[in-house]
Amino acid sequence: MICLFLLSSAWAASINGDISIEGDVTCNTLDSPTITTEGSIVIDSSLVTETLSSTYVSTSSLSVSKLKSSSGTIEVEGNIVLKPQDSSSATFFQKTWTLEHQDTFEESHKAWSTTSRDTCNEIYYIQGDCKTPEISKTFELSDHKYVRLVGIIHLLDLWNGERVEIKVDGKTVWSRVGRTLENGVNVCGKEHPDPGFSNKFDVMVPHQSPKALLTFTSNLSEKNCHASFAISEVALLTR
């Protein structure tokens, strides 16, 4: 059964077949195998369904057999709390990130491909520019399925649309374009305003190799040696 109607109820609604809604639905409890709406669904207490498609859903309790998105991405605003229903599934939920390596460059930058290290405003960093457009380091990791990169990168001085990228094993996982503004603030480096100071990155990528090659690279050329990028913190976590 497929119904096409406007539904507004302060009580519970239970449908044995499919339900297709054009507009909004508001009720305390809604139970149906398939729910499709071009508007929004607002449930005061609980929503139970095998298939759900809606522009907007708001409910205190949601139970579905599968979550999927036509765009390939599911966005969540807020926190996700996972609670195992029994002790046999508790191991899965207790899986957390393990910190494998962390560099803040306060004392050393051992094993990095550059020897350029500087400090500004009590921040220590390694630096790349037109002469050193690429900085890399190979990390050894324990058994894992995912790698997470967390850190801080700075774009200093005169950038004219050049790009800086972060790569894992040669694949780009993060990028940023730099453009210096005349009314910008000069924090570190030379006399030019800095287009991107303290850019935080936090990316996760599927990864199972025992080693990971981390590369910071830019397309800065010898035509522009008045710009640089600096890395002040890098952390690698695995799961």
Q: Are residues 126 and 221 in the same domain?
A: yes
pLDDT of 18 > 90? The answer is no
Span 197-232, pLDDT tens digits: 999 999 999 999 999 999 999 998 877 788 999 999
Cβ of 188: how many Cβ atoms within 10 Å? 19
Asked whether residue 234 falls in the same domain as residue 116, the answer is: yes
* Whole-number Å distance between alpha carbons of 166 and 122: 24
Tell me how far CA of residue 113 lies from CA of 53, 126, 128, 135, 237, in angstroms. Answer: 50, 10, 10, 6, 21
What does the pLDDT read at residue 110?
77
Would 137 be classed as within a structural domain?
A: yes
- pTM for the complete prediction? 0.60
- Of 113, 214, 198, 210, residue with least CA distance to 155: 198
Q: How many domains does the chain have?
A: 2
Assess whether 48 and 103 both reside in one domain.
no
| pLDDT 10s digits, 87-122 | 444 444 445 899 999 999 987 777 899 888 899 988
Tokens describing residue 141? 């990791």
Q: Do 225 and 112 have their domain in common? A: yes
DSSP 3-state percent helix, strand, coil across the chain (nearest 5): 5, 55, 45
Please state, in angstroms and rounded to a whole number, the distance separating the CA atoms of residues 236 and 150: 7
Looking up tokens 């991405």, which residue turns up? 73
Whole domain around residue 224: which residue ranges? 98-238
Q: Please classify residue 24 by burial: count the beta carbons closer than 10 Å to its beta carbon, then call 0-12 exposed, 13-18 middle and 19+ buried.
A: middle
Give me the pLDDT at residue 235, please.
96
Residue 59 resides in a domain: yes
pLDDT at 32 exceeding the cut of 90? no
Examine residue 71 and state whether it is found in any structural domain, yes or no: yes
Q: What is the CATH number of the domain that holds 176?
A: 2.60.120.260
115 and 221 fall within a common domain: yes
